[in-house]
Amino acid sequence: MRLVRHDEIPAGFKSWNDYKGYMEFKSRRSQNALQQIEEESSITWRWAQKVNIHVLPIPSNILLLATEYYGSLPDDVGLVAYIRHNFSSYDQILKECENCFGRENAYQLIKERTTRIICNRLGLDFSVEYLYNSKMPWLVRKDYGMMMEMYR
């Protein structure tokens, strides 16, 4: 990027003030666009906090269904993921905000809310492992053999 000196007038402008006015206009337009994106992201976030998440009653043969789906008996992380995608409104809710500003944060919040509901129904303590569909041994303290409190 080349700096524009005050004594140089860029091509297409009659005076330095014309150029300065144009650049100020461009800056305001960019700031307005960023402000609008922030406002729309905030609306999406508030929506994600309040949207109704429905989890169907979990059938008694859920382990059999999940085993057929995965091809082997799933652990608790796999079971939670299976229920989230097959017995809840999770995927439909994500589609509702798929073209919204701030959707990445909304996706995480919706996933966490849905997962907490499922864990509650299954009698499991919520863990970030359920959000990332993976066992995370680094979350376990070696000295206590339990989940770190900050992730509970």
pLDDT in tens, 122-135: 988 887 777 777 76
In a domain, 6, yes or no: no
In a domain, 3, yes or no: no
Number of domains the chain is built from: 1
In a domain, 2, yes or no: no
Q: What is the mean pLDDT of residues 87-108?
A: 90
| Spatial contact of 139 and 147, defined as CB atoms under 8 Å apart | yes
**Quick one: pLDDT at residue 138?**
52
pTM above 0.75, yes or no: no
Both tokens assigned to 21? 């006015």
Q: What is the mean pLDDT of residues 34-51?
A: 87
Domain housing 22: 16-134+147-151
**Quick one: pLDDT at residue 147?**
43
In a domain, 142, yes or no: no
135 Cβ neighbours under 8 A, 6+ residues apart:
75, 77, 129
CA–CA dist 110, 114 (Å, integer): 6
